[in-house]
Amino acid sequence: MSIKDGRTTAGFGGLESCGRIWLCPVCAAKIRVRRGDQIAEGVARHLDNGGSAWFVTVTLPHEKGDALKDSFEVLTKAWRYVKNGRAYQDDKDRFGILGDIKAVEVTHGQNGWHPHAHILVLTSRGLEFDEMCAWAARLDARWAKGLARNGWPSGKPGVRMTLIPVEKGKGIAAYVAKVQEKGLGNEIARADMKDATSGNRTPFQILADFGNGGLADDLELWWEFEAATAGKSAIRWSPGLWAKLMPDEEFGTEEEIAAEDEGGQTIAVLTPWTWRRISEVDGADIMVLEAVEASGWEGLLRTLIRLRISASGVYTPEEWATPNEVELDSV
């Protein structure tokens, strides 16, 4: 556990990770935070260098009986249709398109599964209002045609696709570069921390509801989500864009990001059997982290006592490094 960057943010280190951005709440949070940081940094650099960015959202009509695998595939293929062919090449030349960053999100509600995508499109220059309107109309028309070509209803204009400029000006640091809260990086990357609205649920909300209520319907929804997202990218930079924006930074795989420790100041070292006891008590891991953030070592010990978990397997970093001070056998 550590406290990092002057902020009381505690985390666990030395744990095994799976790196599954769609399915693991713990790994998803770590990966999406990093991806959000990268997106915010890359876009901020681009804007500082005189470029422009555009926030595009594409969606598709959906009904309760639609299988997520089918609608997910249509979402992917329809956007691929938008970017393929002569029309998009003309747009690249006409509007100075450099590339895009695409993030896919999924919610479920009364009308079934609702996959949609947020795409940041970066251009080398700003666009006049009439240019922006012409470009939006061309994208919308190709998106509608892409849906239809894949056997899907084209939906309503103004709903199936939207395009808004990312404006540089007042508050740009909070909007673009500050990803700990409600920045642009989080808007693109952090599907894990969003709450669905109007009776809809995110997949992790479905998972939490199953954990709390044990409903078979929620389990079936989760299994469907698990199968539909297998092998699918959650966040993707178009080829060559990373090298243009972040040539001095390492991208990192999802597995590498998930496996990284938080760093910072080590507060305590736990034996394996102590960690097992914490993981067995519902909500104990969150309680421990909140206690460390509030009161450090003392908060950790008080919380373990309150949870009736022995503190004999908890050591200071100095004790852990001292020969014959650590007892690794369970009690």
What are 224-273's pLDDT values in tens digits? 999 999 999 999 999 999 999 999 999 999 999 988 876 678 889 999 99
- Of 154, 59, 156, 188, nearest to 113 by C-alpha is 59
**Percent share of the chain, pLDDT over 70:** 86
Q: Are strands 52-58 and 161-166 parallel, antiparallel or unpaired?
A: antiparallel
Interval 67-76: pLDDT, tens: 999 999 999 9
pLDDT of 1 higher than 60? no
Q: Dmax over Cα atoms in the chain, in whole Å?
A: 75
Q: What is the residue whose two structure tokens read 């001095």?
A: 248
Token pair, residue 62, equals: 């959906």
- Of 230, 280, 194, nearest to 23 by C-alpha is 230
pLDDT of 189 higher than 90? no
- Of 184, 190, 189, nearest to 171 by C-alpha is 184
* pLDDT score, position 215: 93
With residues binned 3-state (H G I as helix, E B as strand, rest as coil), the percentages for the chain, rounded to 5, are 50, 15, 35
Interval 282-322: pLDDT, tens: 888 889 988 988 899 999 999 999 999 998 899 998 988 88
Taking each continuous run of H as one helix and of E as one strand, the counts in the chain are 13, 9
Interval 139-171: pLDDT, tens: 999 999 999 999 999 999 999 999 999 876 534
pLDDT of 174 higher than 70? no
- Of 118, 92, 94, nearest to 107 by C-alpha is 118
- Of 35, 6, 95, 55, nearest to 175 by C-alpha is 55
Measured between its terminal Cα atoms, the distance across the chain in Å is: 22
- For residue 140, the SS3 value is helix
pLDDT of 196 higher than 80? no
* pLDDT score, position 185: 64
- Of 287, 325, 323, 291, nearest to 314 by C-alpha is 325
Interval 26-36: pLDDT, tens: 888 888 888 98
d(CA 271, CA 308): 16
- Of 259, 328, 197, nearest to 24 by C-alpha is 259
Q: How far are the Cα atoms of 1, 3, 204, 258, 262 from residue 15, in angstroms, in the given order? A: 11, 17, 21, 10, 11
d(CA 154, CA 60): 7
Selected residue with higher pLDDT from 309 and 85: 309
CB burial class (10 A; 0-12, 13-18, 19+) of residue 142?
A: buried
* pLDDT score, position 179: 34
Interval 94-112: pLDDT, tens: 999 999 999 999 999 999 9
